Amino acid sequence: MNFIRRRQFVQSVGILSLAVLISFPIGCGPEDYQKPLQQFQDSSTVVINTARAFLNNENTIEQDSVIDDVVFQRKPLNLPEIKKIEIISQQEIEIRTKALDALAEYTSNLAQLAHGKAGSAVGDQTKKVSDSLKTLAGDAKKLPATKSTFLDNPKFSGIASAAASAIGDVAQLMVEHRARREIEQSIESNDAAVTALIQQISDDATGSYLRQQAQLGAYGVQLSRDYQIEIGRESGDPILLLGFAKTVKDYRLQESQLASANPAPAIEKMKKAHSALVAYVKSNKDPKTFAELKKAVQDFVSAAQPLGQAVQSLVSAS
C-alpha cells in the first residue's frame, strides 16, 4: 500500500525534478539584476509545481486514508465506493495552478518594468495576466459548491477577481504609456490584492500538505499497531516480520521526505521577494533596495531548493 501511494505521489510530482534540474544552475546574465530575477522565476516554477503536485495528490491522499483504515479494521474493501471520494476536482486544481502561473508572469513583467522596459509589449502581457485571472475568477465562481469541504471556491473567486482588477489597473496605465511614477504608484497601491492571492494559494497548498501529513501519520500508527499484534502471536511468521521491517523503513523515509516538502515556507518567502521586487520597481534602481531584493530572492531560493530536493529524493526512492 505504501509503495502504491508513493508511486502515485511520485508520478504526480515527477515534473518537479525536471524543474529543479533546470532551475538552479542557470540565471547568471550579463547584467547584475538578471541573476536574482532569473532565480525568482526559477524558484517560482519549483513552488508552483510543488503546489500543483500536492493539489493533484489530494484525492489519492483521502482515498488511501480510507483504504488504510478499512484494511486496519479488517472491514470489507469497497473500491468502487472509495474511487468516488473526490476532495478536489481537476478544474479546481487547474484554476489554482493557473493563477500561480499568472502571478509568476506578472512578477516577470514587473522585473522588465524595473529595468525601464515598460513598453507596449509589457503592458499587453500584463493585461493578458489580468484577463487570465478574471477568467479564472469567473470559472471559480461558476464551480458548484465543493462536494467536500476542502476548498472555498467563492472565496478564491473573490480574491482572484480583486487581483485581476489590481493588475488590470496597472496594465491599463502601461498600455496608455502613462508616466512611470504613476505606474509605480499603481503597482504599489494595488499590490495588497496580489499578495492576498498568493496567500490564498499558499493556504490551499498548505491544507493539502497537512492532509498528506495527517494521512501518513495515521498510516504509521496502523503499521506500528499491526506489528505489535503480529509479534504477540505464538505462530508469528519471521519472514512476515522482516517484511514489516522493510515497510517501516520505507514509511520512515517517506516521513522525512515529506517533512522537507512543505510548500508554505517557500510561498511565504515568495511573497516577501515579490514585495521586495515591488519596492525595487518604485526605487528607480536604488542600490540599497536592489540589495534587499537580492537578499529576499536568495531567501526564496533557499526555501524553494529543499522542496525540489525532497521531491528528487522521492523520485529516486521509488
Partner 1 sequence: MTLIELAQAIGDVLTQIDTMLQTPGMSDSDWQTLYALRKHLDDEQRDLIGKSIKEADATYQQLTTKLNAASTQLKTVIGDLTKVGNVISIVSQIASYADQILKQV
Residues that bind partner 1 (CB under 8 A): 62, 65, 69, 87, 146, 148-152, 155, 203-204, 206-207, 210-211, 213-214, 217-218, 220-221, 224-225, 228
Residue 271's nearest CA partner among 194, 205, 161, 210 is 194
**CA-only gyration radius of the chain, Å:** 23
Cβ contacts of 8 within 8 Å, gap of 6 or more: 57, 60
Comparison of 228 and 235: residue with beta carbon closer to partner 1: 228
Minimum Å gap between C-beta 92 and partner 1 is 10
Comparison of 155 and 249: residue with beta carbon closer to partner 1: 155
Cβ contacts of 150 within 8 Å, gap of 6 or more: 58, 87, 88, 207
Whole-number Å distance between alpha carbons of 203 and 127 = 26
Comparison of 57 and 206: residue with beta carbon closer to partner 1: 206
Minimum Å gap between C-beta 203 and partner 1 is 4
Whole-number Å distance between alpha carbons of 67 and 82 = 8
| Beta strand spans in the chain (E) | none
Minimum Å gap between C-beta 290 and partner 1 is 33
Q: What torsion do the CA atoms of 260, 263, 265, 266 make, to the nearest 10 degrees?
A: 100
Q: What torsion do the CA atoms of 37, 41, 42, 47 make, to the nearest 10 degrees?
A: 140
Comparison of 22 and 259: residue with beta carbon closer to partner 1: 259
Whole-number Å distance between alpha carbons of 192 and 198 = 10
Minimum Å gap between C-beta 201 and partner 1 is 12
Comparison of 175 and 264: residue with beta carbon closer to partner 1: 264
Minimum Å gap between C-beta 311 and partner 1 is 21
Comparison of 17 and 59: residue with beta carbon closer to partner 1: 59
Minimum Å gap between C-beta 134 and partner 1 is 22
